[in-house]
Amino acid sequence: MTKEEILRKHKQFLFPSITTYYSDPLVTDHASMQHVWDVDGKKYLDFFGGIVTISVGHCNPRVTAKVKAQVDKLQHASTVFPNEAVVALAEKIAQITPGEISQSFLSNSGTEANETAVQLARMYTGHFEVVVLRHGYSGRSQMAQSMTGHGTWRRSLPTPAPGFVHALNPYCYRCPLGKTYPSCEVACANDVEAVIQTTTSGQIAAFLAEPIQGVGGFITPPKEYFKMVFKIVKNYGGLFISDEVQTGWGRTGKRWFGIEQWEVTPDIITSAKGMANGAPVGLTATRPEIAASFKGLQISTFGGNPVTSVAAKATIDLIEEDRLMDNAAMVGSYYRKGLESLQEKHELIGDVRGMGLLQAIEFVKDRATKEPAPEVTNQFMEECRKRGLLVGKGGLFANVIRTSPPLNITTADVDEAVRIMDESLAAMNAVEYHSSTADERRATQMRPQINAKKLE
Ligand SMILES: Cc1ncc(COP(=O)(O)O)c(C=O)c1O
């Protein structure tokens, strides 16, 4: 098929709600390790990896060789037939998950993983209400959308599922309490208690959060935040669920799971995305006594599929064998310095944040007012794409660039990415995006125009 045919059929046969990046959508053809090629043969350095999913490089031969062998051996079993692939994966997960987490329920997506975790917490505790965070993202089912703290991702929700309450999130760059760290003494953590006391019965089933909020724009909490919240959650009878869909498997550097960076041992871990380097997977892992509280029968037709299980195990083994958690920390801190040097040079960058190889930049029109600059974000993506770099976006105001390259990239890849970002920002004629005075902002209705001619 030609590019035009693919795009026409995409429009004709897929739901229009499936949005794509770029004014001229990028039609992918093939990929290898940190690179993707489009159908016109243009090569890109991929610093987003699908959506935070490629952990060890696209089509990494050390993963695909095992997947190919498994496809020929046993492609499907379902949860009613035990097989070596699924138990080998579950055993590996038990070895690397924190605390006494040692049993897994495997499914197909992060959405399912979170649903399973909430169901389980309710059955184990006998309580119903669950505290989640504003700006969080939990998935696309009715329950997961109800947990999500972004209006934009809740619009298809006719009635939210009951039992979810949203506490303030630890968004230091835009503190919901108008305070500054560290003099704030992490006051936002106390909102979890206030929300429990005022909007629940006082007995909660769980608290569920991402150690670094992904879709929210890699919002990274102060180091004390989760320890403080953990104590509150325990005081009110809840389980602590760490959503590791974006932060798991070494992504944040040095440790397997993001929550370990905050020195908290969760009761349940959920994951998906990078766990199987692109194969569809969902994981809910917990301690045996919690897993045992699941009432009734459960199947998942594709959960723990042998091919997916082999892909996940091969991915995790590769991360371990090549010490990619250390690489994520080392190359991640080198990358972070590169992004900070861009921030020094380009006024549009209001904040740089993240951990390991999960790094974001937040664009603002004005550093003093922090007015979000979503147009800049879109244009930056276009400019990077022109120069051969793929990045993602996110944030409640759609003004955050999210990057999550494979964990085995090198400093040379980082140099190339930072150079392209620098050139892209320079080409954007940044002055055009600034609304330096209140009058000017009103005049442009907060939507400064891009000088199209200068962009060519
Ligand atoms: C933190 C988090 N949880 C859950 C999900 C839902 O995962 P999935 O899209 O696999 O259902 C996502 C997806 O982006 C996510 O980022």
- pLDDT of 336-366, one tens digit each? 999 999 999 999 999 999 999 999 999 999 9
pLDDT digits (tens, 9 = 90+) for 418-442: 999 999 999 997 556 655 444 444 3
- 210 Cα nearest atom in ligand 1: 1
Identify the CA nearest to 249 among candidates 327, 194, 365, 363: 327
Classify strands 389-390 and 43-46 as parallel, antiparallel or unpaired.
parallel
Task: Provide the residue-wise pLDDT of the chain in tens; the chain has 456 residues.
Answer: 999 999 999 999 999 999 899 999 999 999 999 999 999 999 999 999 999 999 999 999 999 999 999 999 999 999 999 999 999 999 999 999 999 999 999 999 999 999 999 999 999 999 999 999 999 999 999 999 999 999 999 988 888 999 999 999 999 999 999 999 999 999 999 999 999 999 999 999 999 999 999 999 999 999 999 999 999 999 999 999 999 999 999 999 999 999 999 999 999 999 999 999 999 999 999 999 999 999 999 999 999 999 999 999 999 999 999 999 999 999 999 999 999 999 999 999 999 999 999 999 999 999 999 999 999 999 999 999 999 999 999 999 999 999 999 999 999 999 999 999 999 999 997 556 655 444 444 333 333 333 322 222
Ligand 1 lined by 435 (C-beta under 6 Å): no
Distances (CA, A) of 364 to 355, 376, 427, 429: 21, 8, 17, 15
Q: Which numbered atom of ligand 1 lies nearest the CA of 111?
A: 11
CB of residue 362 inside a 6 A radius of ligand 1: no
Distance between CA atoms of residues 154 and 398, nearest Å: 15
Cα distance between residue 87 and residue 99, in whole Å: 20
148 lines ligand 1 (CB under 6 A): no
DSSP letters of 100-158? T--EEEEESSHHHHHHHHHHHHHHHHS--EEEEETT----SSHHHHHH---GGGSTT-S
Instruction: Report DSSP letters for 270-293, one per residue.
Output: EE-GGGGTTS--EEEEE-HHHHTT
Q: What's the pLDDT at 159? A: 87
Tell me, in angstroms, the distance from the centre of ligand 1 to residue 106's CA: 15
Q: Measured in angstroms, how far is the CA atom of residue 412 from the centroid of ligand 1?
A: 30
CA–CA distance, 253 with 327 (Å, rounded to integer): 7
Q: Is the C-beta atom of 246 inside 6 A of ligand 1?
A: yes
Ligand 1 atom 7: residue of nearest CA: 110
User: pTM for the whole thing?
Assistant: 0.94
210 lines ligand 1 (CB under 6 A): yes
- Grouping H, G, I as helix, E, B as strand and the rest as coil, residue 420 is helix
Provide the β-strand partners of residue 29. Answer: none
What is the residue with the minimal CA distance to atom 8 of ligand 1? 110
Find out whether the beta carbon of 215 lies less than 6 Å from any atom of ligand 1: yes
Give the helix/strand (H/E) hosting 398. Answer: none
CA of 271 from ligand 1 middle (Å) equals 8
As given in the structure block, the two tokens for residue 70 are 């498994």
Q: Compute the distance from residue 49 Cα to the ligand 1 centre, in Å.
A: 14
For residues 275 and 204, what is the distance between their CA atoms, to the nearest angstrom?
29
Distance 245 CA to ligand 1 centre (A): 6
Best residue for ligand 1 mutational test, from 245, 251, 259 (most atoms within 8 Å of Cβ): 245
On whether the CB atoms of residues 95 and 89 are closer than 8 A, the answer is no
**Ligand 1: which atom is nearest the Cα of residue 110?**
7
Report how far apart the first and last C-alpha atoms of the chain are (Å, whole number): 30
Check if 111 has its Cβ closer than 6 Å to any atom of ligand 1.
Answer: yes
- The atom of ligand 1 lying closest to the CA of 272 is 10
Instruction: Determine if the peptide bond prior to 288 is cis (ω within 30°).
Output: no
Ligand 1 atom nearest the C-alpha of 247 is 1
Ligand 1 centroid to 251 CA: how many Å? 15
C-alpha 138 to ligand 1 mean position (Å): 5
Please give the pLDDT value at position 450: 31
Tell me which of 138, 154, 212 to substitute to probe ligand 1's pocket, judged by most ligand atoms within 8 Å of the beta carbon: 138
CA–CA dist 421, 343 (Å, integer) = 11
In short, whether 115's Cβ falls inside 6 Å of ligand 1 is no
